[in-house]
């Protein structure tokens, strides 16, 4: 695994949401869930929002008709700057030739949520990305089991979940001996090709 650069604390909505195929009308994109900033957007270390969007970005707007009736993608909606809601760094444009990759990051992320014992506005998040041909949900579960086992967490359960940027998606739970119950320790999913 290669460590992703994680020194960018201001991100454009395009790189924070659109590049992950998150619909522009999704509730996570409003000011109740995201910290927005004033000023022109750059993001991703100064990589501007692409002017001519290629087919994968258009798919984010049009979406498969059988999945969600997505609204048209608006370039202006991708422009506002925000504090990052995740630390995943995507390449600035789809590559001509596919190259398998394994990368990770550990970084601070920000969510505009109601504060309680399990939710803070700023927290550290571990993210990983494995991209290759022929990978399945079973591969993802195996990688997660290996990751958590190395942390000493061996009792795991996977539960189907909804994430606007992955499909299928899963929550990961571990049995906590002290609490005598299963607690969520992770979230995961398969990115759309």
- 88-125: per-residue pLDDT in tens? 755 544 556 888 989 888 888 888 878 888 778 888 88
- Beta bridge pairs of residue 181: 176
**Do 164 and 92 fall into the same domain?**
no
Last residue of a domain, one of 98, 114, 133: 133
- The pLDDT, as a whole number, for residue 79 is 61
**Do 124 and 190 fall into the same domain?**
no
Give the residue numbers spanning the domain of 100: 1-133
**Nearest residue to 183 via CA among 143, 155, 142, 163:** 155
Q: How many residues does the chain have?
A: 193
What is the b/e burial string over 58-84, where b = at least 16 CB atoms within 10 angstroms of the residue's CB? Answer: ebbbebeeeeeebeebeeebbbbbbbb
**Do 83 and 175 fall into the same domain?**
no
- Over residues 121-177, the pLDDT tens digits come to 888 888 898 989 999 999 999 999 999 999 999 999 999 998 877 889 999 999 999
- The pLDDT, as a whole number, for residue 52 is 52
- Over residues 32-87, the pLDDT tens digits come to 677 877 765 554 444 455 555 544 444 544 444 333 434 455 555 556 777 777 77
- The pLDDT, as a whole number, for residue 64 is 46
- The pLDDT, as a whole number, for residue 8 is 72
Q: The domain spanning residue 27 has which CATH number?
A: 3.30.930.10
- Cα 183 to Cα 124: distance, rounded to the nearest angstrom: 18
Quote the mean pLDDT of the chain.
76
- The pLDDT, as a whole number, for residue 72 is 52
**Do 68 and 52 fall into the same domain?**
yes
Residues near 50 by Cβ (< 8 Å), separated by ≥ 6?
Answer: 57, 92, 93
**Do 91 and 109 fall into the same domain?**
yes
Query: Domain count of the chain?
Result: 2
| Phi-psi region at 140: left, alpha or beta (left = phi > 0; alpha = psi -120 to 50) | alpha
**Do 192 and 123 fall into the same domain?**
no
pTM of the model: 0.69
């Amino acid at each position: 695994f290669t460590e992703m650069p994680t020194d960018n604390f201001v991100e454009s909505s395009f790189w924070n949401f659109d590049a992950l195929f998150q619909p522009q009308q999704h509730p996570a994109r409003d000011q109740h869930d995201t910290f927005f900033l004033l000023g022109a957007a750059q993001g991703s270390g100064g990589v501007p929002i692409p002017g001519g969007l290629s087919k994968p970005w258009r798919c984010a707007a049009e979406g498969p008709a059988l999945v969600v009736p997505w609204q048209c993608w608006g370039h202006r909606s991708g422009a506002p700057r925000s504090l990052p809601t995740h630390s995943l760094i995507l390449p600035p444009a789809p590559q001509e030739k596919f190259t398998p990759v394994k990368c990770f990051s550990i970084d601070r992320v920000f969510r505009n949520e109601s504060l309680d014992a399990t939710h803070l506005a700023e927290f550290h998040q571990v993210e990983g990305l494995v991209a290759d041909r022929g990978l399945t949900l079973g591969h993802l579960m195996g990688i997660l089991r290996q990751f958590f086992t190395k942390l000493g967490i061996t009792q795991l359960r996977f539960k189907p979940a909804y994430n606007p940027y992955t499909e299928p998606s899963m929550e990961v739970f571990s049995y906590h001996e002290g609490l005598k119950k299963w607690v969520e320790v992770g979230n995961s999913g398969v990115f759309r090709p």
